[in-house]
Amino acid sequence: MTSPRFFALIPAAGAGARMGAECPKQYMPLAGKLMLMHVLDTFAGSSQIAHTYVVVSAEDGYIDDALSGARHLADRVTVIYKGGPTRHKSVLNGLLAMREQVRDEDWVLVHDAARPGLTEGLIERLIAGVQSDEVGGLLALPIVDTLKRSDAAGRVVATVTRDGLWAAQTPQMFRYALLQRALQQATEVTDEASAVEALGLKPKLVEGSPRNFKVTLPHDVALAELHLKGTA
Ligand code: CTP
Ligand code: MG
């Protein structure tokens, strides 16, 4: 029996509405390179990753140009032009499209195009922490702030204990067959782990990094560039 391989799947079919840029945020230049290209280069540079799949919208007008200037990615990255209306559906469409190339027991690392701060070291840490796990797992950060719950008027109604609370990041890493089943059965989930949790399983948490934050709002851009230039 051959040992399971590791594949990356990058959902990149969002509109970036909260960023409000002229193009979807994954195509914004950050520190001299498009946000999505930072992510693709990181996975392509990781010797543990067998291949990377990126899911874009069927109407995407940016990806072909971006990849034509990146010959080194030609045999490392496959584009799937089949984004869905939600991240959940985009990931599921991607999984179905890669079916022929991937075995049930292979691992899939799902990573947001909007987290350009991922490093090869973080990929290695996740794989090392999860590859002998029954369920799978994800990068996440323990919460350090004191947490408040508010009412509709924006007043504090409770202080929530942060004990045992983590902020989920990506990559989230599960075996192909389990992940496909979980996402197919889930109604609406914002990450892969929630779909797996809904099956009654407990994904493993592996400590991520603040630099792997999700670039969402215009004020996130400057911090992302500091990390990518290595000055934060
Ligand atoms: N994504 C996707 N398909 C969708 C929605 C989101 O592939 N229908 C991807 C995004 O491209 C991004 C990741 O999922 O890489 C995380 O989503 P988010 O940060 O919310 O990005 P957007 O949905 O593009 O941004 P917004 O919610 O502000 O519109
Ligand atoms: Mg979104």
- Give the pLDDT band (50/70/90) at residue 5: very high
CA nearest neighbour of 157 among 149, 165, 166, 168: 149
Instruction: Find out whether 83 and 9 touch, Cβ atoms under 8 Å.
Output: no
pLDDT 10s digits, 16-55 = 999 999 999 999 999 999 999 999 999 999 999 999 999 9
| Rounded Cα gap, residues 157 and 136, in angstroms | 36
Instruction: Find out whether 87 and 49 touch, Cβ atoms under 8 Å.
Output: no
Could you say which ligand is closest to the alpha carbon of residue 88?
Answer: 1
Instruction: Report how far ligand 2's centroid is from the alpha carbon of 14 (Å).
Output: 6
Instruction: Report how far ligand 2's centroid is from the alpha carbon of 79 (Å).
Output: 20
Nearest CA to ligand 1 atom 25: 16
What does pLDDT average to over the chain? 97
Predicted pLDDT at 129: 98
Q: What are the residue ranges of helices labelled H in 49-162?
A: 63-68, 87-98, 120-130
Q: What's the pTM? A: 0.97
**Pocket lining for ligand 1, CB < 6 angstroms:** 11-19, 26, 55, 83-87, 90, 112-114, 214, 216
Angle at alpha carbon of residue 183, lines to 15 and 120, rounded to 5°: 65
pLDDT 10s digits, 82-123 = 999 999 999 999 999 999 999 999 999 999 999 999 999 999
| Rounded Cα gap, residues 17 and 27, in angstroms | 13
Nearest CA to ligand 1 atom 23: 14
Predicted pLDDT at 231: 73
Q: Which of 87, 115, 192 to mutate to test the pocket of ligand 1 (most atoms within 8 A of CB)?
A: 87
Could you say which ligand is closest to the alpha carbon of residue 216?
Answer: 1
Element (H, E) at 183: helix 176-185
Atom of ligand 1 nearest to the CA of 85: 8
49-56 and 6-11: which strand pairing?
parallel
Instruction: Report how far ligand 2's centroid is from the alpha carbon of 204 (Å).
Output: 24
Q: Could you tell me the domains of the chain?
A: 6-228 (3.90.550.10)
Could you say which ligand is closest to the alpha carbon of residue 110?
Answer: 1
